Amino acid sequence: MQMEESIYDLIPREEITPPKAARHESKFRSMVKEEKKVNKSPHKTMGPAKVKVDDPADFMKKRSKEPVLPEKTTFKYPDESTRRPQVPDKTDKPLMGIKSTKNFITTNAVENIMSVPKKPAANFVDTKKGDTQPLEISGLVPKYIKRKDFGEVPEYLTQRKEEVARAQAEYDAYVKEHYRRGAMKKLSEDERQQILNGLKTNWEEIHHQYQGLSVVTDTAPKKARKERMEAEMKQLERDIELLEKHTVIYIAN
């Protein structure tokens, strides 16, 4: 489809270029440029780095790279003044000074003869191979006997003995008071011995019956009888021990 021709198209029109929008610029632009310059290697650009070129006449010669050593000097120790002299050579002849007429062989022999033998150290063997250890630090030496208070009764034992004696005195006073009022009666020695003999006789009779029991306790009556006799013998043993331990016994009226 063709457009209709117009006279207005014969006059050239002025081309109007629209303005471009402002381009965004990062605030880190300057910092990135500086970092790029710093981290750039010389040979990573177009060609080698521009450096000073040596003159063709200054070519490398033999031994030109060898280090220049300082002049040779005599070595001296820092403490030269305080060091001991060197050991004399075997060909050197020492200067003979004052000669002594002392017979060192005889002197040494007399000193060894007259000397007191050294006392051996006190050790103890702690293994089957014979390894020894000092006895002084082992704790086996009774050093406590050398203390000033050795053999003296400790103070706490004296206090405890006084407390026990005080308690016994208070108990004796209490018993005497009740005995005086007639509330308690003291057993005489004959009565105590008579009761003790009776308890021992009863124990022997029960023990004799116990020995006659059957070895096999297969029924309930046999088992009960055996347990009853054992309990009676234990009670008699406790009563006998009580009467034998205490010589003074009070009983209530």
Query: How many C-beta atoms surround the C-beta of residue 187 within 10 A?
Result: 17
Domain count, the chain: 1
Exposure on the CB side of residue 187, measured as CA atoms within 13 A: 16
238 inside domain: yes
Given pLDDT bands bounded at 50, 70 and 90, which one contains residue 164? very high
| Per-residue tokens: 124 | 């103890």
245 inside domain: yes
**Greater model confidence, 159 or 2:** 159
- Kindly report, residue by residue over 195-228, the tens digit of the pLDDT: 899 999 999 999 999 998 888 888 888 889 999 9
175 inside domain: yes
Average pLDDT over the chain reads 84
226 inside domain: yes
208 inside domain: yes
- Domain extent, residue 185, equals 155-252
Q: What 3-state class would DSSP assign to 115?
A: coil
**pTM check: above 0.85:** no
Determine the pLDDT at residue 231: 93
What is the rounded average pLDDT of the residues 36-51? 68
Q: What 3-state class would DSSP assign to 125?
A: strand
| Amino acid residing at 18 | P
8 Å CB contact between 219 and 225:
no
160 inside domain: yes
| Alpha-carbon span 32 to 38, nearest angstrom | 10
Determine the pLDDT at residue 183: 62
Determine the pLDDT at residue 48: 67
67 inside domain: no
8 Å CB contact between 215 and 189:
no
- Kindly report, residue by residue over 116-136, the tens digit of the pLDDT: 888 888 898 988 888 999 988
Q: What 3-state class would DSSP assign to 234?
A: helix
User: Which stretch of DSSP H or E encloses residue 184?
Assistant: strand 184-186
Is the pLDDT assigned to residue 1 strictly greater than 60? no
What are φ and ψ of residue 185, in 5° steps?
-125, 135
134 inside domain: no
Determine the pLDDT at residue 204: 93
Report the relative pairing of strands 132-134 and 123-125 from DSSP bridges: antiparallel
- Kindly report, residue by residue over 79-112, the tens digit of the pLDDT: 888 888 888 888 887 666 677 788 999 999 999 9
Given pLDDT bands bounded at 50, 70 and 90, which one contains residue 14? confident
Determine the pLDDT at residue 137: 84
| Per-residue tokens: 199 | 């308890």
